[in-house]
């Protein structure tokens, strides 16, 4: 079935050109831009000039495989580029953030407002002893204070580690400890579909007083929901109290281009999430260039990225890219169906949004709800649509194009990763014709290839492993505290190219069609879940002996977690056990990792050398014919699973 899907994709021959009038006004109209990008260092040297530097760089790239230094010798500050440099001219009173709360409350912060609050909060952080290089964990709802906290860190050279508010206390704890953060910024709670998620209580669980390894001295709490929280004297303070009477003068720290800007944790093939490290210079150049060109950004655009800042999309295309470019950013705190299923369309109508950047899983959800919801709202302000997080199936692409874009908005399907920091493949909309389901071609100055297991380029029309051949400015610097893991995970296969973990094909026109992950990572609603992490959470339960998780194809989420679990000897199967196991995964990781299915079995299918054969389990989860079973130690195990799971369907 998977094979069929690829063939279907390559049969997709429809080409879409930008509407009349789009190209002649586009930011990029030069059809040779991709060729210019082939002189990579020259290209990125040019793009470096779009930022404000305290000191210009001496060398654009020092490449000491697999460690890159971009804009060597340059000094700059990310918050300065997002704020201070817009204060001179007409942008000073332009809306930087238009915030819409789930309950319908609204706040607009101009560039001047945002500048002032960031400088004040930076002074607050300083007063709690935060200095350049210290790590600050941010565990927050999607509210303006989250952006303020991030930029305040950047302003004084502290390293932010944003942890998505949907992660559990245990997952938060691991991230606080791995980063050795000294301060946590959080909120009392976060609204979600009218309920509230107890963020501060989760922080308290993550940091019990007796906790070893604990370097956290201060917790700053933003009042959002007003729910009761325990404030511990000495350690916990309210944001609104510590911000009182604080000076709004705080010089931006001149940072080395290769100093750390932030750490963001993401799942990999082992149980322990990786702290992906991004640095100031290259990252800022990369996100600024791609944000302007891919979204065809104009001064008057109202740009809405629906991602949470807890993910890389929020970092690069809700905060750093758009603010560096001086755009007006809409941020919405809540769920797409609260209070009604037309909430997104209501927001677009209300603020006359011109650019919408969202995920295929959301689009498929809207498709399921039906077109009457978008039809009931005025979406005529939209002029460009974006997609990110997973492959977008041509059907969803067409629906997005027709019912949201009114057949007049180009769709930019953007392929990239937490590690790449910036968009790596996407159309440049004024010059790249679109094909539904393809992220088209690499961005100028980015060198992507599809290779065989030895790292040799595969011919057009074929598929293989997706790799990045040359360093790019926003590339991750390392895995926090673990250079070896960085090298082993990303740079040791495929003849020394950067391994993305994805599989892709390219067609006769050189267009790329990303198929999905080839490692043990599941993409659930555009979020990366490591199978090893979910398995680790399951075996942590006292009844479980072994667990194996696979991604099952899911109509809306793209993939869902399907877990096969064997119980310890003597454990009696109870009705509640499956729910208990699901709850245990939520406790250990968060609800985003909750398995849709758990199947209890006496044994898991293994090879003679004892390796669990996930490939076969995936075949079973997807209800298709099983692949080669000849290396199994005991075929009866897999036959039993197949028979019973097919029977349940």
Q: Does 523 bind ligand WT7 (CB under 6 A)?
A: yes
Q: How far is residue 506's CA from residue 441's CA, in Å, rounded to a whole number?
A: 9
State which residue, 415 or 564, has the beta carbon closest to ligand WT7: 415
Q: How far is the CB of 412 from ligand WT7 (least distance, A)?
A: 9
Binding residue for ligand WT7 (CB under 6 A) from 186, 313, 365, 393? 313
Q: How far is residue 207's CA from residue 479's CA, in Å, rounded to a whole number?
A: 24
State which residue, 279 or 290, has the beta carbon closest to ligand WT7: 290
Q: How far is the CB of 54 from ligand WT7 (least distance, A)?
A: 30
Q: How far is the CB of 156 from ligand WT7 (least distance, A)?
A: 27
Q: How far is the CB of 439 from ligand WT7 (least distance, A)?
A: 5
Q: How far is residue 354's CA from residue 408's CA, in Å, rounded to a whole number?
A: 12
Q: Are 422 and 287 in contact (CB under 8 A)?
A: yes
State which residue, 182 or 393, has the beta carbon closest to ligand WT7: 393
Which of these ranges, 193-201, 349-357, 522-530, 600-608, lies near ligand WT7 under the rule CB under 6 A? 522-530
Q: Does 517 bind ligand WT7 (CB under 6 A)?
A: yes
Q: How many helices (H) and strands (E) does the chain have?
A: 22, 30
Which of these ranges, 25-33, 35-43, 120-128, 387-395, lies near ligand WT7 under the rule CB under 6 A? 387-395
Q: How far is the CB of 515 from ligand WT7 (least distance, A)?
A: 8
| Contact set for ligand WT7, span 251-290 (CB under 6 A) | 266
Q: Does 475 bind ligand WT7 (CB under 6 A)?
A: no
Q: Does 389 bind ligand WT7 (CB under 6 A)?
A: yes
State which residue, 260 or 514, has the beta carbon closest to ligand WT7: 514
Beta bridge partners of 550: 562
Q: Does 291 bind ligand WT7 (CB under 6 A)?
A: no
State which residue, 191 or 357, has the beta carbon closest to ligand WT7: 357
Q: Are 138 and 262 in contact (CB under 8 A)?
A: no
* Count of alpha carbons within 13 angstroms of residue 493, beta-carbon side: 15
State which residue, 9 or 151, has the beta carbon closest to ligand WT7: 9
Q: Does 146 bind ligand WT7 (CB under 6 A)?
A: no
For 557-595, letters b (16+ CB in 10 Å) and e give bbbbbbbbbbbeeeeeeeeebbeebbebbbbbbbebbbb
Q: Does 522 bind ligand WT7 (CB under 6 A)?
A: no
What is the torsional sign of CA 533, 538, 541, 546?
Answer: negative
Which of these ranges, 20-28, 362-370, 416-424, 563-571, lies near ligand WT7 under the rule CB under 6 A? 416-424
Binding residue for ligand WT7 (CB under 6 A) from 121, 265, 400, 416? 416
Q: How far is residue 633's CA from residue 604's CA, in Å, rounded to a whole number?
A: 11
Alpha-carbon Rg for the chain, nearest whole angstrom, is 24
Binding residue for ligand WT7 (CB under 6 A) from 218, 500, 525, 543? 500
Contacts of 448 (CB under 8 A, 6+ apart): 424, 425, 442, 466, 467, 468, 469, 512
State which residue, 86 or 517, has the beta carbon closest to ligand WT7: 517
Task: Look at phi and psi of residue 245 and say left if phi exceeds 0, alpha if psi is from -120 to 50, else beta.
Answer: left
Q: Where does 437-530 have alpha helices with state H?
A: 483-491
Q: Does 501 bind ligand WT7 (CB under 6 A)?
A: yes
Q: Does 551 bind ligand WT7 (CB under 6 A)?
A: no
Q: Does 531 bind ligand WT7 (CB under 6 A)?
A: no
* Phi–psi pair at 317, nearest 5 degrees: -120, 10
Binding residue for ligand WT7 (CB under 6 A) from 310, 391, 410, 437? 391
State which residue, 191 or 415, has the beta carbon closest to ligand WT7: 415
CB atoms within 10 A of CB 131: 12
Q: Which of 155, 158, 156 is nearest to 81 (CA)?
A: 155
State which residue, 111 or 512, has the beta carbon closest to ligand WT7: 512
Q: Does 439 bind ligand WT7 (CB under 6 A)?
A: yes
Q: Are 520 and 501 in contact (CB under 8 A)?
A: no
Q: How far is the CB of 418 from ligand WT7 (least distance, A)?
A: 3
Determine if the peptide bond prior to 634 is cis (ω within 30°): no
Binding residue for ligand WT7 (CB under 6 A) from 100, 296, 390, 533? 390
Q: How far is residue 98's CA from residue 142's CA, in Å, rounded to a whole number?
A: 12
Q: How far is the CB of 16 from ligand WT7 (least distance, A)?
A: 16
CB atoms within 10 A of CB 123: 19
Q: Does 303 bind ligand WT7 (CB under 6 A)?
A: no
Q: How far is residue 635's CA from residue 588's CA, in Å, rounded to a whole number?
A: 33
Helix, strand, coil percent content, the chain, rounded in steps of 5: 35, 25, 40
Pairing of the two strands 274-279 and 260-266 = antiparallel
State which residue, 10 or 312, has the beta carbon closest to ligand WT7: 312
Question: How many residues line the site for ligand WT7 (CB under 6 A)?
Answer: 23
For 66-100, letters b (16+ CB in 10 Å) and e give bebbbbbebbbbbbbbbbbbbeeeebeebbbbbbb
Which of these ranges, 51-59, 181-189, 323-331, 413-421, lies near ligand WT7 under the rule CB under 6 A? 413-421
Q: Does 438 bind ligand WT7 (CB under 6 A)?
A: no
Q: Which of 455, 553, 537, 463 is nearest to 267 (CA)?
A: 537
Q: Are 310 and 148 in contact (CB under 8 A)?
A: no
Which of these ranges, 186-194, 344-352, 490-498, 513-521, lies near ligand WT7 under the rule CB under 6 A? 513-521
Q: Where does 502-625 have alpha helices with state H?
A: 531-539, 577-588, 614-621
Q: How far is the CB of 297 from ligand WT7 (least distance, A)?
A: 18
| CB-closest chain residue to ligand WT7 | 418
Q: How far is the CB of 12 from ligand WT7 (least distance, A)?
A: 14
Q: Which of 179, 182, 150, 163 is nearest to 78 (CA)?
A: 150
Q: Does 528 bind ligand WT7 (CB under 6 A)?
A: yes
Q: Does 51 bind ligand WT7 (CB under 6 A)?
A: no
Q: Does 499 bind ligand WT7 (CB under 6 A)?
A: no
Q: Does 310 bind ligand WT7 (CB under 6 A)?
A: no
Q: Which of 619, 612, 618, 615 is nearest to 634 (CA)?
A: 612
Q: Does 413 bind ligand WT7 (CB under 6 A)?
A: yes
Q: Does 159 bind ligand WT7 (CB under 6 A)?
A: no
State which residue, 3 or 230, has the beta carbon closest to ligand WT7: 3
Q: How far, CA to CA in Å, does 386 sit from each of 311, 415, 555?
A: 16, 11, 20
Q: Does 559 bind ligand WT7 (CB under 6 A)?
A: no
Site residues (CB under 6 A) for ligand WT7? 266, 312-313, 388-391, 413-418, 439, 500-502, 514, 516-517, 523, 526, 528
């Amino acid at each position: 079935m998977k094979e069929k899907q690829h063939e279907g994709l390559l049969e997709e021959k429809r080409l879409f050109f930008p509407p009349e009038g789009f190209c002649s006004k586009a930011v990029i109209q030069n059809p040779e831009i991709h060729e210019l990008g082939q002189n990579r260092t020259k290209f990125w040297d040019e793009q470096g000039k779009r930022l404000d530097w305290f000191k210009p760089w001496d060398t654009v790239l020092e490449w000491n495989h697999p460690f890159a230094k971009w804009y060597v010798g340059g000094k700059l500050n990310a918050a300065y580029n997002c704020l201070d440099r817009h204060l001179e001219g007409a942008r000073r009173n332009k809306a930087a953030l238009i915030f819409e709360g789930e309950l319908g409350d609204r706040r607009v912060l101009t560039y001047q407002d945002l500048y002032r609050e960031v400088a004040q909060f930076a002074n607050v952080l300083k007063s709690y002893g935060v200095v350049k290089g210290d790590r600050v964990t941010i565990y927050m709802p999607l509210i303006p204070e989250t952006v303020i906290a991030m930029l305040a860190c950047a302003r004084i050279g502290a390293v932010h580690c944003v942890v998505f508010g949907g992660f559990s206390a245990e997952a938060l704890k691991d991230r606080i400890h791995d980063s050795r953060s000294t301060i946590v910024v959080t909120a009392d709670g976060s609204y979600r579909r009218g309920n509230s998620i107890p963020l501060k209580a989760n922080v308290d669980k993550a940091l019990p007083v007796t906790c070893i390894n604990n370097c956290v001295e201060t917790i700053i709490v933003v009042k959002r929901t007003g729910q009761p929280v325990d404030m511990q004297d000495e350690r916990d303070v309210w944001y609104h109290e510590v911000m009182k009477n604080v000076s709004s003068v705080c010089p931006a720290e001149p940072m080395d281009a290769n100093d750390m800007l932030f750490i963001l944790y993401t799942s990999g093939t082992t149980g322990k999430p990786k702290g992906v490290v991004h640095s100031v210079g290259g990252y800022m150049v990369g996100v600024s260039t791609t944000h302007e060109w891919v979204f065809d950004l104009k001064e008057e655009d109202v740009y809405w990225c629906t991602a949470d800042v807890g993910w890389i999309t929020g970092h690069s295309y809700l905060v750093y890219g758009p603010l560096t470019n001086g755009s007006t950013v809409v941020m919405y705190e809540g769920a797409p169906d609260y209070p009604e299923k037309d909430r997104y369309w209501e927001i677009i109508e209300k603020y006359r949004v011109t650019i919408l950047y969202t995920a295929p899983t959301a689009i498929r959800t809207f498709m399921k709800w039906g077109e009457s919801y978008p039809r009931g709202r005025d979406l005529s302000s939209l002029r460009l649509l974006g997609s990110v997080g997973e492959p977008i199936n041509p059907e969803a692409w067409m629906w997005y194009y027709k019912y949201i874009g009114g057949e007049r908005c180009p769709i930019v399907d953007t392929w990239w990763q937490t590690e790449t920091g910036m968009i790596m493949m996407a159309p440049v909309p004024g010059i790249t014709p679109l094909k539904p389901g393809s992220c088209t071609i690499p961005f100028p100055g980015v060198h992507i290839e599809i290779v065989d297991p030895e790292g040799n380029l595969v011919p057009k029309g074929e598929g293989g492993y997706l790799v990045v051949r040359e360093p790019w400015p926003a590339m991750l610097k390392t895995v926090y505290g673990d250079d070896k893991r960085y090298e082993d995970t990303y740079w040791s296969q495929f003849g020394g190219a950067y391994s993305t973990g994805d599989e892709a094909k390219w067609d006769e026109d050189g267009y790329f069609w990303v198929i999905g992950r080839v490692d043990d990572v599941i993409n659930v609603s555009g979020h990366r879940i490591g199978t090893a992490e979910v398995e680790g959470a399951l075996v942590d339960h006292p009844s479980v002996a072994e667990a194996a998780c696979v991604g099952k194809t899911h109509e809306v989420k793209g993939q869902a977690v399907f877990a096969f679990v064997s119980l310890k000897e003597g454990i009696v199967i109870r009705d509640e056990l499956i729910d208990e196991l699901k709850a245990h995964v939520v406790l250990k990781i968060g609800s985003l990792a909750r398995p849709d299915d758990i199947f209890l079995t006496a044994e898991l299918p293994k090879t003679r050398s004892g390796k669990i054969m996930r490939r076969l389990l995936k075949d079973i989860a997807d209800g298709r014919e099983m692949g080669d079973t000849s290396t199994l130690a005991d075929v009866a195990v897999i036959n039993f699973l197949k028979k019973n799971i097919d029977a349940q369907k």
